[in-house]
Structure 1
């Protein structure tokens, strides 16, 4: 929450659309841990000459006043910066995707029970977030993406999923290993949540997909 609040105070947040697991957790109550912040970097309406290089340089200078910068890179599709606070044992990675065309965004309040700060953010609409999570799960086969998909299904989010893609998702779920459940997923969940997924797999998500 501190990082989001500083993005707002530094006037960087108006170009960013919040997405990913951290957005689902801070804005919609996703009950798993997420250590990175994902954003989509947008041009403002009618703007054709936005210099993302200068913007990113300003962002790096801004963060250097508050945190140690462990890494910063302007990649082909993304801007990446990794921050380390002396008050935290972990570093925090911010990833901002460039060149994304987005016709619609939503607004939500990001909050945490561990902080009194609330930040009003622009977010990816949940149906688009679901589509993005499907693509991510099929590409990298990470169990956290399947968990996020089931969370969105429980929230009543609908996405246009073809029968072929539905079969691909089910195949990817079936290929998840015991280590995926016992190590990767359990490290993201509270202790009382872990037995359910060990026993039930992704029953609700699979039912939604028609199996």
Structure 2
């Protein structure tokens, strides 16, 4: 395990708060544990995938995946526990099964651990809808941490992440989904109506522009409170919402 001093140095260099850098360290270690044991059964996606590989301008806390084949979760949990243990990180891994997926919570005594409630917590959410449409892109992680070796990760195609972000905006109230979708649109990622409707099929629904616009408007009240802890400067809501509404109006 790296030292608290080294972690704080990295946090300063990367423009993160120390606890965010610690979580990033744990996320990287957990990803290493996962992909040192499995190949492509879990496709990495969501905000943290965008943060790791595409320069997303906000910190992302959870690890999100879609399972493309049967996963031995007991073996996966053991791999995480043993990998963190080899790094000298005491940890506890708990699993639960929500609707259409799995949740694995990792509590770890990281470089900033000082007892009590100071554990670093990483949540893994695995969707078992088996709805990956486009071929994932294999990306290499070259860790900035001296105790972790490079490894490869199958990452969901950005067009498909965008489609899932549209679905997420329709199905929950999270400002981060709108921010992430705007980020992808700004990067020139194509919005595909067929892909969006494929993602909505799980709910027996299709994309509706008016419903989507109303859902976007409803995010304004949570915009600043939610994003303040995830980025240094929160952009104006309208500066993010307007380009998204313009792009989705063409679906």
TM-score range, shorter chain: 0.7 to 0.9
Distance in 2, matches of 1:203 and 1:99, equals 31
Q: Where does structure 2 lack aligned partners over 5 or more consecutive residues?
A: 1-27, 85-89, 113-118, 198-205
Gap change, CA 1:3 and 1:177, over 3 Å in 2 = same
Distance in 2, matches of 1:157 and 1:81, equals 30
RMSD of aligned C-alpha atoms? 2.7
Q: Tell which deviates more after alignment, 84-93 or 136-145.
A: 84-93
Q: 2:125 aligns with which of 95, 114, 117?
A: 95
Q: Mapping of 1:176-187 within 5 angstroms?
A: 176-178=219-221, 180-187=222-229
Count of equivalent residues: 197
TM-score between the two structures when normalised by the length of structure 1 = 0.80
CA contact 1:27–1:108 (8 Å) conserved in 2: no
Q: Secondary structure at the match of 1:156?
A: coil
1:94 deviates by 0.8
TM-score between the two structures when normalised by the length of structure 2 = 0.68
Q: Where does structure 1 lack aligned partners over 5 or more consecutive residues?
A: 44-49
CA contact 1:83–1:91 (8 Å) conserved in 2: yes
Q: Secondary structure at the match of 2:228?
A: helix
Gap change, CA 1:156 and 1:166, over 3 Å in 2 = farther
Do structure 1's residue 84 and structure 2's residue 107 form an aligned pair?
yes
Match of 2:134 in 1: 104
Do structure 1's residue 56 and structure 2's residue 82 form an aligned pair?
no
1:199 deviates by 6.5
1:76 deviates by 4.3
Q: Mapping of 1:69-80 within 5 angstroms?
A: 69-80=92-103
1:174 deviates by 1.7
Match of 2:214 in 1: 171
Distance in 1, matches of 2:219 and 2:67, equals 32
Q: Secondary structure at the match of 2:188?
A: coil
Q: What's the CA shift string for 1:51-102, capped at 9, x where partnerless? A: x4xx111112222323522531134411211112211543001111224043
1:200 deviates by 3.2
Gap change, CA 1:156 and 1:184, over 3 Å in 2 = same
Gap change, CA 1:5 and 1:37, over 3 Å in 2 = same
1:113 deviates by 8.1
Do structure 1's residue 40 and structure 2's residue 66 form an aligned pair?
yes
CA contact 2:34–2:79 (8 Å) conserved in 1: no
Match of 1:142 in 2: 174
Distance in 2, matches of 1:135 and 1:172, equals 11
